[in-house]
Amino acid sequence: MSRSALILAAHGSPPEPGENERIDRLARCAADRAGFEEGSAAFHQGDRRFSEVIDELEADEIVVVPFMTSDGYYADVVLPRELSRNRRFPFANLHRTPVVGRHPAISDIVADRAWKLMHRFALRREKTSLAVIGHGTPRHYASRDTTRDLANALIQRETAADVFTAFLDDDPPLESVVDLAAKDNVVVLPFLMHLGPHAMRDIPARIGLCTTDGTVTVSGRVGGRNVWCDEPVGADPRMIDLIVALATNARTQPSDEPAAIIAAGGKIA
């Protein structure tokens, strides 16, 4: 009897092994909920790499869900290139879903998180700016698109008086958040899946959320504005619902030919 597996493909965070373990638990829980016999996380950085995960599974039918916010270098180049290096790659019945950050419900989740944070600190919508922080990279033209699409969805919802984007590794840079904000209250929304150093340390530090002794905080006054930094969207417990929905839908679609998986990311290096 044919077995099925769900692979949750993530960048990985070697400095934070507990974060990789969290994503592996998420993969196994999602697989169980969606009716797969096997579930596993795979990482660009960390144990069980993209290039070996298929060979470690027994399943013939495999659904790969990129646990990433955006199309771009890792989703469209690194992931397909490394998957193709598995010995079993040409023989597996493969389905690859869109990235989790492209799921239509992501804007519902981010808007809800923003509203709850604003309510918690009694922030009035008309006096609040929202900064949506993506990773971005100059290595791929599409890396900023999903972050910008999310910001536009939040604007259409009138989530706050002012919504804009900034990036860890692209323009406009993260350090410009306070200058870009039109309102005195600024809520920072990290559009990242990992709870690693980028989200938990780099973002607040680069915005200027540091005490006089250099300790990083998640709220404070920076450049004359009141700033609050949320957890990354990947920490939200509703992520599993999106993973299950993507994986379930993929099983009803024709499988991707190995050549199509490779073509999605260009030639193998």
Query: Which pLDDT score is estimated for 268?
Result: 32
Looking up tokens 């990985």 gives 12
Query: Which pLDDT score is estimated for 265?
Result: 45
Query: Which pLDDT score is estimated for 269?
Result: 29
Q: What is the CATH number of domain 4-101+238-263?
A: 3.40.50.1400
Angle between helical axes of 106-120 and 145-156 (0-180°, round to 10): 60
Residue numbers of the chain with a pLDDT score lower than 70: 1, 15, 141, 197-198, 212, 214, 255-269
Domain ranges in the chain are 4-101+238-263, 106-235
What is the reported pTM? 0.90
- DSSP of 81-92: HHHTTSTTGGGS
Which tokens sit at 29?
Answer: 């829980």
Annotation: CATH topology of 106-235: Rossmann fold (3.40.50)
